[in-house]
Amino acid sequence: MPRRTSLILALLALTVSGCGFGAVSIEPHTAEAGSEETCTALLKDLPEVVSDAVRRDVAPEAALATAWGQPPIVLRCGVSMPSAYRPDTQLIDVGGVGWFAEEGDGGVFFTATDREVLVEVAVPDDYAPAGFVLDDISPTVASHIPERGLR
C-alpha cells in the first residue's frame, strides 16, 4: 500500500472512531526478511513522548509499528526502500541517522535509508516543521539498527 494511503488510513481510523485516545489503526506491512527481532527491540525502547505527542497503542498489536499523538505520528519498522529513493539522493542527517524525506498527502514521510533495517516515520502537517520529530526518534534508531554505509 502506498505511503500516502497509509497515513490517510491512520488519520481516517481516528476520525471514524470519534476518539483521539484509542488505538491507532495501522495498515499491516510485510516486514523485510530478518527485521522482526530488530524492530521489536526498537519499538520497545522508543520514547514515550515525541515532539510533545504521547505514545499510543496501535492495532493490530502485531504490526511492527507505533504511534504518538493526535493526529498520529506513525513509525513503521522493517519497511522496504521508498520507490522515489535514489543512491545519490541527499539525506537529512539527524543524530547520525540519514533520513530520506518525501512529501505526501497531509504530511511528510521520512525513511532511515542508511540502516540495515529501514524505518519509516509519517509526520502529519500538524507537527510542522516535521523534521523536529526526528530529534526524538533518531537516537534510538541509531543505537538499535546498524548503519549500512549507503549515504
Query: Would you tell me the crossing angle of helices 132-144 and 36-45 to the nearest 10 degrees?
Result: 130
Give the whole-angstrom CA distance, residue 112 versus residue 26: 19
Whether the model pTM is above 0.75: yes
- Backbone φ and ψ of 67, nearest 5°: -150, 160
User: How much is the pLDDT for 2?
Assistant: 60
User: How much is the pLDDT for 46?
Assistant: 98
Is 57 in contact with 23 (CB distance < 8 Å)?
A: yes
User: How much is the pLDDT for 27?
Assistant: 87
Pairing outcome for strands 58-59 and 24-25:
parallel
Is 130 in contact with 110 (CB distance < 8 Å)?
A: yes
Is 143 in contact with 94 (CB distance < 8 Å)?
A: no
Please report, for the chain, the start and end positions of each structural domain, with discontinuous segments joined by +.
3-144
Is 113 in contact with 82 (CB distance < 8 Å)?
A: yes
Which residue ranges in the chain fall short of pLDDT 70? Answer: 1-21, 149-151
